[in-house]
Amino acid sequence: MVEESPDPIRGSRSGTAPVPLSVLDLATVGSGLTATEALRTSTDVARLAEARGYHRLWVAEHHSLTGVASSSPAVLLAHLAARTARIRLGSGGVMLPNHAPLVIAEQFGTLEALAPGRIDLGLGRAPGTDGATAAALRRGRTDGAEEFPQQLAELVRFLDDDFPDGHPYARIHAVPGPAQGNPGRPPVWLLGSSGFSAELAGRLGLPFAFAHHFSAAHTVPALQLYRESFRPSDVLDRPYALIAVSALAADREQEAHRQVLTGALAMLRLRSGRPGPVPSPEAAAAYPFTAREREFTDAWLAQVVHGTPDAVREGLDALVARTGADELMVTTNVHGPRARLRSYELLADAYRMPDAVR
């Protein structure tokens, strides 16, 4: 039996996993597939994660990327909440500079009202896209990442409905929310891939999620900075650090490499200014890598924990030991749904995670 933790942040471990295991789903769109199929797979992943005892599942905000279907986390989370019953759901993350804080407070207040006690609000300060798309999202506003601390403070005030008397927003209520008798609100997390959000999360006493899956070289320094900066708060009495890691388990090592090469090629194309759907395993295997491209993909794959279930478990355990992470959030970005779903099943089996009570 998988027992729910009363703490919305600190989850209980399942089976032999050294820390709680969670899932980051990007609604990956593979070549030859559609966004409808990608979102259907996200639903299947959420149901599987709940059934196998993963602690939480987050979705991320990305824009103008044809290989990703999760441009609207709040909408996708509402869909997933309606099709699950226990697993925590959240944003990993919502890009705060793209939105008015009041809008985010209302969206996640609505989610909390629909799925009480199951929603997390993870916030990032990057646009989640390129500069031109960011300009289109912000419609000429000049506020951006540098205003993030002020935007965050405003958002938290809206969530708590506690602007002081005399404040211009004192009579504005984010609804659903405390003004309507809703006692709870989503826990706020800060996300980051460098030191800025790590230090801010520490100073504010908030849980911190680090993007190890695309910024592995900065993981240990960022977590150290977070812990050194941490001040106890009403939310946490000690630091809590989650790291997102790319991983894929397959029945055979060769199959694991065949699958993760699709994600590596997709990232190569993105970094080269040629984004698109995730290529098929056949297309990735046949791609004529130049020496420089092969160097990039080899470096990328070195940070993806992949192989047989036992090898992936050993790799994840070593990552926890090296970083001191309090939680691992696994993301598996490959071409098709079958490999992703199979990987999460195999990983749960490797850690002997029991099926959740239905």
Phi, psi of 61 (to 5 degrees): -95, 115
- CA separation for the pair 204, 198 (Å, rounded): 10
pLDDT on residue 34: 96
Q: What is the mean pLDDT of residues 138-146?
A: 61
Q: What is the mean pLDDT of residues 124-133?
A: 77
Q: How confident is the model at residue 143 (pLDDT cuts 50, 70, 90)?
A: low
The distance between the two most distant Cα atoms of the chain, rounded to a whole number of Å, is: 65
Q: What is the mean pLDDT of residues 9-34?
A: 92
Identify each DSSP E strand in the chain by its residue range: 21-25, 56-59, 88-95, 119-124, 188-192, 208-210, 241-249, 305-307, 327-331
Q: At residue 67, does pLDDT exceed 60?
A: yes
pLDDT on residue 77: 98
pLDDT on residue 1: 28
**What pTM was computed for the model?**
0.94
Nearest to 93 by CA among 82, 107, 110, 114: 107
Mean pLDDT of the residues in the chain: 93
Q: At residue 357, does pLDDT exceed 60?
A: no
Question: What is the share, in percent, of the chain residues with pLDDT greater than 90?
Answer: 85
Q: How confident is the model at residue 130 (pLDDT cuts 50, 70, 90)?
A: confident
Compare 10 and 60 and report the one with higher pLDDT: 60
Q: At residue 141, does pLDDT exceed 80?
A: no
Q: Rg of the chain's alpha carbons, rounded to an integer?
A: 20
Compare 140 and 174 and report the one with higher pLDDT: 174
Q: At residue 131, does pLDDT exceed 80?
A: no
Q: How confident is the model at residue 129 (pLDDT cuts 50, 70, 90)?
A: low
